[in-house]
Amino acid sequence: MSLFSPYSSHGLDPSEKLRNKQLEALKKLLEVPGELSRETRVALEHVVKKHFPSTDVGVPRLLGKNKTMDSLDPWRDDLDSSFYDTWDSEYDNVPSHQEPFVTNLEIQFITIWKELEEKLEQLVDPSVSDIHWALRRWSSNFLMHLGALKEGLSAWSREIDDFVTLLTLMDKREEERTFDEKRKIREIESRIDNLLNSTTTIGGKRDSKKAIKLSDNVILSGKWVVENLKPEVTSTESSGSVSLGIRFKVGQSRGKEKAMLSALMYLWLTRRENGYLDERCFPQELLDGITDARVRAASRGDYAFVNDDIELLVKTPNGREYTLERIDGEVGVRYG
C-alpha cells in the first residue's frame, strides 16, 4: 500500500473531509470497555493522534502525491466487480502465512482490525455505525491495494506494456523488422497524424481536412500538407531513453525537425483512439512539442511553389478572412 497509495500511507481517505470524519469515529474505539492488546492500541493511537509515517524518503518524485506511483494507482481505472467481491474488507482472503506479497506486518494488520471489530460489538453508542464505516473504509483501502499488488493490477497497464514493446521494436534496425512490426509503427504514425489534424480549427470550427496552423492568423491546407507533413516515429539518440522520437522529413529540414513522444502522451493517445476520451479532453500541452516541430518543418517547406491544391486561410487584424487557393498554377482569392 505504501507504493500504490504513498501519500496516504496510514491508509485513511485522501479526502481531508472524509479523513477527519474517520478519525473522529476511530477515536471512540479507544474508549471501548476492556483492554486492547498492546499492538492494537499502539496502531490505533498512531492513527488517531496523527503520528503518520513519513513518505519523504528521498524519492518524493516517485512516491509523492500525484507523482509516479500515485499515477499508477489501479483506482484510476475501472476494476472488475469480481475484484471488489474478493478484496473489499474480506480478511479471509489474505493468507495467514508469509509469502512474497504478504509479510508478518500485513498479517498483524489483519489481526488488529479483527480485534477492533470485536471490541466494537461491546460499545453502546449511537455512533457505532459511523465507527464501523470508518474502520471498514480504513481496512478496505489497505486490502484492495494489497489485492491489486497480488494480482498485478495498475492503471494504464496495457498501454504501458504496448509502449515498452514499441520502444523495443524501435531499437531494431529497419531491415530486421517483420511486416507486422512495420505495420504497427505505421499505425502509430497514422494515429499521431490524425490527432494533430483534429486540433486544427478553421473559422472557429474543427476542420475535416488536414491543415496546419502556421501562426495565429494563417492556416495551411491542401494536398501538399497531406503528402509532406506526416510524422515519422524514430528511436531517440539518448542512451536509456524511455521516449520515442517524432520527425518530419520535408523541404530543407529533411528530418531535422524533431520532437519527443513521451510515455504519457502515448497513454493519452491510446485512450483517445480506443474511444475512452473525447478529443476535447485531450491535454493539448502534450502535443505542443510535436506541433511546433511540424510548424517548423512546414515553414522550411516549398509549399509556396506548389502549383496545385494548396490553400492558405489568412485572418486579418480586423477579423476578416481571406482564402488563397492555387489550382493548376492559378491563384484564386475568396473573402468571407
- The grid coordinates listed for 109 are 494488520
Shared domain for 91 and 203, answered yes or no, is: no
Residue 1 lies in a domain: no
204/313 Cα distance (integer angstroms): 12
Collapsing DSSP states into helix, strand and coil, what is residue 72? coil
Residues 133 and 187 both lie in one domain:
no
d(CA 45, CA 168): 50
Mean pLDDT, residues 251-257: 62
207 part of a folded domain: yes
Residue 73 and residue 168 in one domain:
no
**Structurally, how many domains does the chain consist of?**
2
138 and 227 belong to one structural domain: no
The verdict on residue 170 lying in a domain is yes
Residues 203 and 144 in one domain: no
Q: What is the pLDDT of residue 336?
A: 67
Residue 93 lies in a domain: yes
In this model, does residue 178 exceed pLDDT 70?
A: yes
Nearest to 236 by CA among 206, 268, 259: 259
Percentage of residues of the chain with pLDDT beyond 70: 85
Residues 134 and 242 in one domain: no
Residue 1: the pLDDT is 41
Burial of 103 by CB count in 10 Å (0-12 exposed, 13-18 middle, 19+ buried)? exposed
Amino acid at 206: R
Q: What is the mean pLDDT of residues 204-218?
A: 69
Q: Tell me, what's the pLDDT at 61?
A: 66
Residue 155 banded pLDDT, cuts 50, 70, 90? confident
Domain co-membership, 146 together with 210: no
Residue where one domain finishes, among candidates 89, 123, 154? 154
In this structure, the answer to whether residues 12 and 139 fall within a common structural domain is yes
Instruction: Tell whether pTM > 0.85.
Output: no
The mean-pLDDT minimum among 93-97, 198-202, 256-260 falls in 198-202
Residue 201 pLDDT more than 60?
Answer: no
Of 107, 125, 154, at which residue does a domain stop? Answer: 154
Query: pLDDT tens across 63-122, in order?
Result: 777 777 777 788 777 778 888 888 887 788 787 777 777 888 888 888 998 899 888 888
pLDDT at 238 over 80: no
pLDDT at 266 over 50: yes
Out of 156-170, 235-249, 309-323, least confident range: 235-249
Domain of 180 in residue numbering reads as 161-335
Please choose, from the candidates 139, 137, 110, 141, the residue with its C-alpha nearest in 3D space to the C-alpha of residue 21.
Answer: 137
Say whether pLDDT at 175 is over 60: yes
Does residue 293 carry a pLDDT above 50? Answer: yes
Do residues 71 and 180 share a domain? no
Residue 58 burial (10 A CB sphere; 0-12, 13-18, 19+): exposed
- Asked whether the predicted pLDDT for residue 134 surpasses 80, the reply is yes
What pLDDT shows up at residue 281?
75
pLDDT tens per residue across span 180-199: 988 888 888 888 887 777 65
Residue 311 pLDDT exceeds 80: yes
Mean pLDDT of the chain: 79
Instruction: Point out the domain boundary residue: 154, 183, 213.
Output: 154
Where residue 309 falls (left for φ over 0; alpha for ψ -120 to 50; beta otherwise) is left
Computed on alpha carbons and rounded to an integer, the radius of gyration of the chain in Å comes to: 29
How crowded is the C-beta side of 136, counted as CA atoms within 13 Å? 11
Whether 91 and 218 share a structural domain? no
**Judgement on whether residues 125 and 212 belong to the same structural domain of the protein:** no
**Same domain, yes or no: 145 and 271:** no
* pLDDT given for residue 254 in this prediction: 59
Question: CA 158, CA 160: separation in Å to the nearest integer?
Answer: 5
The pairing of strands 257-261 and 244-248 is antiparallel
Is residue 46 in some structural domain? yes
